[in-house]
Amino acid sequence: MRHFLSLTLFKLLMVVPTSLWADTPLPVPEGRVILSVTGKLSHTNVGDAAVFDAAMLKALGMHTVATRTPWTEGVSQFSGPLGRDLLEAVGAQGDSLIVKALNDFVAEIPVSDFIKYDVILAMMRDAKRLTVRDFGPLFILYPFDQQPELQTEKIRFRSVWQVASIEIR
């Protein structure tokens, strides 16, 4: 019975919008757009897309993950909004994400990853803004050290850096 109640509460929370912009239109970015989200979404701000500048992404709430990565030395503090908060903000309605990097690298990520794990769209590393030269402006980062089961080739492939756009399918 307890498991059933926990599962029911989890499902209810997944349906009830809790993000900053869930019940209001997305604001229009005032700064340089660093992320465009398209596809199956219900909240847009420019045509059929939801576009974000850095301030809008920060307004989703910053989350910090201290972890090692296969691409960096030692433990770093990565900060950015949770992927699931971005999905809530845009009213995501699909099951998968097609993430495209500035260099045209593309990876498919199941939406369930963003729900199950504290995946962030890292904007900062050790309190410094990520630049294109060092994985920025956005880096999809899984909590590798907190959940060792994520240390697989499949998850590394999904850890896209230099993220430019996300299509929800």
Q: Provide the residue type at 25 as one letter.
A: P
Kindly indicate the confidence band of residue 147, based on its pLDDT and cuts at 50, 70 and 90. Answer: very high
* Lookup: tokens for 12: 């209810």
Q: What is the mean pLDDT of residues 59-67?
A: 97
The pLDDT assigned to 12 comes to 39
Q: Are strands 106-110 and 120-122 parallel, antiparallel or unpaired?
A: unpaired
Q: Is the pLDDT of residue 11 over 70?
A: no
Tell me, what CATH number does 124's domain have? Answer: 3.90.420.10
More confident residue, 150 or 21: 150
H helices present in the chain, as ranges: 2-15, 54-59, 83-90, 111-116, 153-158
Q: Which residue has the tokens 């907190």?
A: 146
CA gap 10, 132 in Å, rounded:
37
Please count the residues of the chain: 169
- 166 vs 5: which has the higher pLDDT: 166
Share of the chain above pLDDT 90, in %: 85
Q: Would you state the pLDDT for residue 4?
A: 40
The DSSP result for 26-66, as a single string, is PPPPSS-EEEEEEESBS--SBTTBEEEEHHHHHHT--EEEE
Asked if residues 43 and 25 have their Cβ atoms less than 8 Å apart, the reply is yes
Number of domains composing the chain: 1
pLDDT at 87 over 50: yes
Residues spanned by the domain of 135: 2-168
pLDDT at 45 over 80: yes
Q: How confident is the model at residue 10 (pLDDT cuts 50, 70, 90)?
A: very low
Chain mean position to CA 100: 13
Q: Does position 6 have pLDDT exceeding 70, yes or no?
A: no
Instruction: Look at residue 9 and tell me whether its pLDDT is greater than 50.
Output: no
> What is residue 141's predicted lDDT score, i.e. its pLDDT?
97
Residue type for 131, please?
T
